[in-house]
């Protein structure tokens, strides 16, 4: 991965203006009126057929008979013609917007099957390494290029300035309402989509897991969710090292048990359990204790055949979340056609029910405690309450609506679990690959913290090499 990233960043950037190029696909105030594509995508194939049949019915009232074969031919021909016209109109609009804003459109990826632009990508996803297909674009073009999949144009970049523009400098101009992230393949960040309705498609897909939470919101709703959670994450709260230290000791003890038996450990599974337990206790004040469940055995371990045990609630929750994420990814690749594939059954329904079964009792208990305090006339602003307050307790003070509380806590839980687990997994992987870095890092920790003392917030400025190592591992393998 590092060779792909380093090679891409060494290639000179060819566009004249990052901000101007970014604005080509951003939403402006008159975009909906200039480019009205407000119908749901599944409605477009049905609309021409409806118009043809309606026109035939009107002609019949005028005593004009239309042969059946002509109706069938018109229905068959009109859909691809209108689709081609829509694609041409979008591309023309993009070129005009680029000219108006003084931006140079990036080169195309090339060497992808011309008809649909999807076969090579599916092959890379199934039997190869997904970023390989984009490596050709970075090595041949620049740190920014375009690609087409089923006539949908996207822009892929590894340029830090473009990523900074989209995610920080001009973030309000890139709301999810009009921007879709098609691919997030470790180092690949998609800048924008030429479809104004792409953001709606993205949100509809993410509803299966994030629903009304902060990661599936935009505009004023996004700001509302941010205002709900941001005050909670202060320095005093993020420095609860005792909580994380306790769960880390538990995870290390589980590893030692396996190592003493000369059995390999699935570190990604272990670290996900660790972050899950720490996140639930930190956010809800109630730990799911996923580390208490037995760790999985390697498939080739003799003990594996005799240690199959039913999954506990925490494992079922994790498996359900992972299953929903897989379905959402498949839906994004399938586009609007996923509605047809799931016309009889929603593939996320069963897994989402498992997730709700874990969260809803926790939310109801928090609401019940708040109502009891209100009945007793007690406030929630005492020092003891503030010290022991969880994120859910903080949210309950703002609203008692169960859906908002459930969705918001799930969003923050997944963000805290998955991103931290990913960062720690790749950090350990890099330490295994670079023993000299591991040696120097260990020396620094022993020097400033020691072998047994728990770290504090004041120790962070002293461990400079640790901070540099984490920053570099996040640069090479960013979770988001």
Domain ranges of the chain: 2-198, 236-433
Q: What are the start-end ranges of the H helices in 67-210?
A: 68-101, 119-127, 132-140, 160-164, 198-206
- Given a cut of 80, is residue 29 above it in pLDDT? no
* d(C-alpha 309, C-alpha 315), whole Å: 11
Q: Is pTM beyond 0.95 here?
A: no
309-361 pLDDT, tens per residue? 666 777 888 888 888 888 887 787 776 677 788 888 888 889 888 888 888 88
Q: Give the range with max mean pLDDT: 11-25, 119-133, 172-186, 423-437.
A: 423-437
431 or 222: which leads in pLDDT:
431
Q: Tell me the percentage of the chain whose pLDDT exceeds 70.
A: 74
The three-state secondary structure class of 157 is strand
Phi-psi sector, 233: left (phi>0), alpha (psi -120 to 50), beta = beta
Q: What is the mean pLDDT of residues 408-422?
A: 85
- Given a cut of 90, is residue 441 above it in pLDDT? yes
Rounded mean pLDDT of the chain? 75
Tokens representing 229 are 């959670």
State whether the Cα torsion 357-359-360-365 is positive or negative: positive
Q: What is the pLDDT of residue 233?
A: 74
Q: What is the pLDDT of residue 289?
A: 87
451-469 pLDDT, tens per residue? 888 888 888 889 999 999 9
* d(C-alpha 299, C-alpha 174), whole Å: 45
Q: Give domain 236-433's CATH architecture.
A: Orthogonal Bundle (1.10)
Q: What is the pLDDT of residue 20?
A: 40
* Burial of residue 446, with CB atoms counted within 10 A of its CB: 0-12 exposed, 13-18 middle, 19 or more buried: exposed
Q: What is the pLDDT of residue 275?
A: 92
Which of 406, 412, 140, 396 has its CA nearest to residue 275? 412
Instruction: Assess contact for 213 and 401: CB atoms under 8 A.
Output: no
- Given a cut of 50, is residue 428 above it in pLDDT? yes
């Amino acid at each position: 991965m590092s060779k792909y990233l380093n090679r891409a960043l060494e290639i000179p950037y060819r566009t004249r203006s990052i901000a101007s190029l970014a604005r080509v696909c951003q939403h402006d105030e008159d975009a909906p009126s200039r480019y009205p594509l407000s119908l749901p995508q599944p409605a477009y194939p049905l609309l021409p057929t409806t118009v043809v049949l309606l026109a035939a019915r009107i002609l019949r009232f005028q005593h004009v008979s239309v042969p059946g074969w002509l109706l069938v031919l018109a229905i068959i021909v009109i859909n691809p013609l209108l689709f081609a016209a829509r694609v041409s109109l979008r591309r023309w609009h993009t070129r005009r917007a680029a000219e108006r804003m003084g931006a140079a459109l990036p080169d195309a990826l090339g060497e992808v099957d011309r008809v649909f632009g999807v076969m090579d990508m599916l092959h890379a996803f199934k039997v190869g390494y997904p970023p390989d297909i984009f490596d050709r674009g970075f090595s041949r073009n620049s740190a920014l290029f375009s690609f087409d999949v089923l006539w949908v144009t996207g822009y892929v970049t590894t340029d830090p300035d473009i990523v900074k523009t989209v995610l920080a400098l001009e973030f309000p101009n890139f709301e999810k309402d009009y921007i879709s992230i098609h691919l997030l393949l470790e180092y690949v960040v998609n800048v924008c989509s030429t479809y104004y309705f792409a953001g709606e498609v993205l949100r509809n897909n993410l509803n299966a897991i994030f629903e009304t939470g902060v990661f599936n919101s935009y505009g004023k709703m996004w700001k509302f969710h941010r205002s709900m959670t941001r005050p909670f994450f202060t320095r005093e709260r993020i420095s609860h090292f005792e909580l994380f230290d306790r769960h880390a000791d538990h995870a290390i003890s589980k590893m030692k048990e396996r190592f003493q038996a000369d059995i390999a450990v699935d570190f990604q599974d272990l670290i996900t359990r660790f972050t899950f337990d720490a996140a639930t206790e930190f956010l809800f004040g109630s730990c799911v204790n996923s580390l208490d469940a037995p760790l999985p055995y390697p498939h080739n371990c003799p003990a594996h055949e005799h240690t199959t045990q039913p999954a506990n609630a925490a494992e079922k929750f994790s498996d359900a979340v992972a299953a929903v994420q897989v379905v959402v990814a498949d839906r994004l690749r399938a586009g609007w056609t996923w509605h047809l594939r799931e016309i009889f059954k929603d593939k996320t329904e069963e897994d989402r029910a498992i997730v709700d079964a874990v969260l809803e009792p926790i939310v109801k208990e928090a609401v019940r405690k708040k109502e009891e305090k209100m009945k007793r006339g007690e406030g929630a602003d005492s020092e003891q309450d503030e010290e022991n307050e969880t994120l859910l307790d903080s949210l309950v003070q703002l609203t008692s609506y169960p859906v908002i509380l459930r969705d918001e806590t799930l969003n923050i839980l997944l963000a805290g679990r998955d991103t931290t687990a990913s960062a720690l997994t790749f950090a350990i992987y890099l330490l295994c690959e670079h023993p000299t870095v591991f040696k120097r890092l260990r020396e620094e920790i022993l020097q400033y913290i020691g072998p047994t003392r728990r770290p504090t917030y004041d120790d962070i400025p002293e461990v400079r090499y640790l901070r540099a190592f984490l920053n570099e591992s996040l640069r090479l393998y960013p979770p988001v």
